[in-house]
A and B are shown apart, each in its own frame.
Chain A
Amino acid sequence: AQSVTQLGSHVSVSEGALVLLRCNYSSSVPPYLFWYVQYPNQGLQLLLKYTTGATLVKGINGFEAEFKKSETSFHLTKPSAHMSDAAEYFCAVTYNTNAGKSTFGDGTTLTVKP
């Protein structure tokens, strides 16, 4: 069964510092990979996705992620954190079968300190 591991349920950074949220997945075939963000009392919204092609993908709000097949990782980064980045972030894996059912990580709460 596919699984997604997000290392660190809570990450705290200072405003202006690098943001790094880690995601590893277990898979024997290439997946589709996603990062979603959830602000308080809202649903999730897509930050970025990897399907095929270039392994470094850029998303909204200055975030990017790199697909590393050899490491089965899809870590999310942002060079300079902003207060508005404080939210919960979910990594997800989907395969192009089974109605696109996704497996989500447990989430990482990002706190940004002034």
Chain B
Amino acid sequence: DVKVTQSSRYLVKRTGEKVFLECVQDMDHENMFWYRQDPGLGLRLIYFSYDVKMKEKGDIPEGYSVSREKKERFSLILESASTNQTSMYLCASSSTDRAHEQYFGPGTRLTVT
């Protein structure tokens, strides 16, 4: 069974803090993704990575950065958290071998106060 884990289910941070969200997958998938999910807006892609140290911007990269130093781990960084980054963050991974079906983690609900 593919497992995608995220470091926290719930997180509360203050405005201006640097925030790290970690995602780990155990199926040797080459692709990894970070989304944010907000009511009425569906899933919006923040960044994705198709290989170690490779990354590409998604639809809403502003205010975020990512790091992928190892194949299994993909980190999302909020350089200076703001209240409009309060959201549910979902990590996913996929493989070309399985037609890119995505496996999702349980999500991190981040509140920035």
Give the B-binding residues of A (Cβ under 8 A).
9, 32, 34, 36, 41-46, 49, 51, 90, 92, 94, 96, 99-102, 104-107
Contacts and interface: CB of A to CB of B under 8 A. Distances in A.
Interface in B22-67: 30-31, 33, 40-43, 45, 48-50, 56, 58
A105 B48 CA distance: 18
A94 to B, nearest CB: 5
B42 A90 contact: yes
A107 B42 contact: yes
A99 B96 CA distance: 8
B41 A32 contact: no
Contacts, number: 64
B100 A102 contact: yes
Given A44-B90, A99-B50, A106 B100 contact: no
A101 B32 CA distance: 9
A51 B102 CA distance: 14
Contact of B99 (A9, A41, A49): A49
* Chain B interface residue number, banded: 20 to 34
A80 B41 CA distance: 29
Interface of B: 4, 30-31, 33, 40-43, 45, 48-50, 56, 58, 90, 92, 94, 96, 99-107, 109
Contact of A99 (B31, B42, B106, B107): B31
B104 A100 contact: no
A100 B103 CA distance: 12
A45 B41 CA distance: 19
Nearest to B105: A43
Contact of B100 (A9, A90, A94): A94
B101 A43 contact: no
Contacts of A94: 99-100
Given A43-B104, A101-B58, A104-B42, 8 more contacts: A9-B40, A34-B102, A43-B92, A44-B102, A94-B99, A96-B99, A99-B56, A102-B102
Contacts of A92: 102
